[in-house]
Structure 1
Amino acid sequence: MSQLSHPTPAGVARANGYSHVATGPGRWVAIAGQVALDESGELVGPGDAGAQARQVFANLDACLQAAGATFADVVKLGIYVTDIAALPAIRVARDAYVDTANPPASTAVQVVALFKPEVLVEIEAYAIVAD
């Protein structure tokens, strides 16, 4: 069971779909930016940010499991997208994995390009796992 807390900072506008602060005791886990490559290294969802986001979150889930963590332990997501208009589709994929009542802190950034032109979404995660 997660021991994370999501305090609401005074004087900061209410967050919509993310938390401003997420904290908790335990072991720090950092997950490198994940893209929509399946286990054989093939791109999933060329031209489809929603399909890519679903694969990205599946990859993040596998990485978290390898570290003995779950999405309940995630305190921060860093979302890099080549077109910010894809954010609603990314949020749908995210919401299938995170607790939407207490979502992690998040940053979303539109970038000019990712490591391959056909990659539309890259997401990194940070978690704190209770000892």
Structure 2
Amino acid sequence: GHFVMPTVVDRLPVDHRLCRDELFVPFVAVADVESLDEALSRANRSEFGLTAGIFSEDPEEVRTFFSAIEAGVAYANRRGGATTGAWPGVNSFGGWKASGSSGRGAGGPYYVQQFLREQSQTWVE
């Protein structure tokens, strides 16, 4: 197998594959942006949408982020916990766009329902 050390990289070109691809390794590319709108635009240009997070002290920025980000799991000011941003068995985990295949998040309280078959029954005696 392969082992990848946790890595933080900055100043990569915006179109660099390390800024575009889902890597599934402990790697983050950091970029300077002028505004939240620019950050959201850059993030949403990706063909993937698994997770996204923001750190902000401004509640309006957090609301804007949650309403605009195109990701299946979004979180704000989360410093600990599951590295994916989701708590398996507590909230659903699934990506949007090319990060998912069913449009349904796994592991959440309503996930199992998609596999059930409904039947209405009426019995008059």
Shorter chain as normaliser: what TM range? 0.3 to 0.5
Answer 1 or 2: which has greater strand percent. 1
Task: Tell me the TM-score normalized by structure 1.
Answer: 0.32
Task: Tell me the TM-score normalized by structure 2.
Answer: 0.33
Greater length-normalized contact order (CA 8 Å, ≥ 6 residues apart)? 1
Which protein shows a greater Rg? 2
